[in-house]
Amino acid sequence: DQQVKQNSPSLSVQEGRISILNCDYTNSMFDYFLWYKKYPAEGPTFLISISSIKDKNEDGRFTVFLNKSAKHLSLHIVPSQPGDSAVYFCAASVEYGGATNKLIFGTGTLLAVQP
């Protein structure tokens, strides 16, 4: 069963506009959420994260929102730039055997920012 879901495989946005990427989860035990960005032929790189005790975290053009009651998080990119074109993975962390955290990833959303 897919505990972390990204229901939009792709998203196209005009340069300068807002990009909103969505992620839903099912496990209420997740205590930390992350977004990763992946360019072709490269490994994923960490973008931004949020603890489950917060509802918003901002870093420059990137803001992550967490709605625990809806089990939903979203990544906002404002303004979008062509260099933001990549696959975005959301991930959720849960304790998995002692003090080990396990990251569970969504299936990814391909963002295309059109010049």
Partner 1 sequence: NAGVTQTPKFQVLKTGQSMTLQCAQDMNHEYMSWYRQDPGMGLRLIHYSVGAGITDQGEVPNGYNVSRSTTEDFPLRLLSAAPSQTSVYFCASRRGPGANVLTFGAGSRLTVL
| Contact between 43 and partner 1 per CB under 8 A | yes
Q: Is 86 exposed, middle or buried (0-12, 13-18, 19+ CB in 10 A)?
A: buried
Q: Are the C-beta atoms of residues 111 and 18 closer than 8 Å to each other?
A: no
Cα diameter, the chain: 48
DSSP, collapsed to helix, strand or coil, labels residue 16 as: coil
| Contact between 93 and partner 1 per CB under 8 A | yes
| Contact between 103 and partner 1 per CB under 8 A | yes
Q: Which of 29, 59, 102, 114 binds partner 1 (CB under 8 A)?
A: 102
Nearer to partner 1, 53 or 99 (CB): 99
| Residues in contact with partner 1 by the rule CB under 8 A | 4, 6, 9, 32, 34, 36, 41-46, 49, 89, 91, 93, 97-103, 105-108
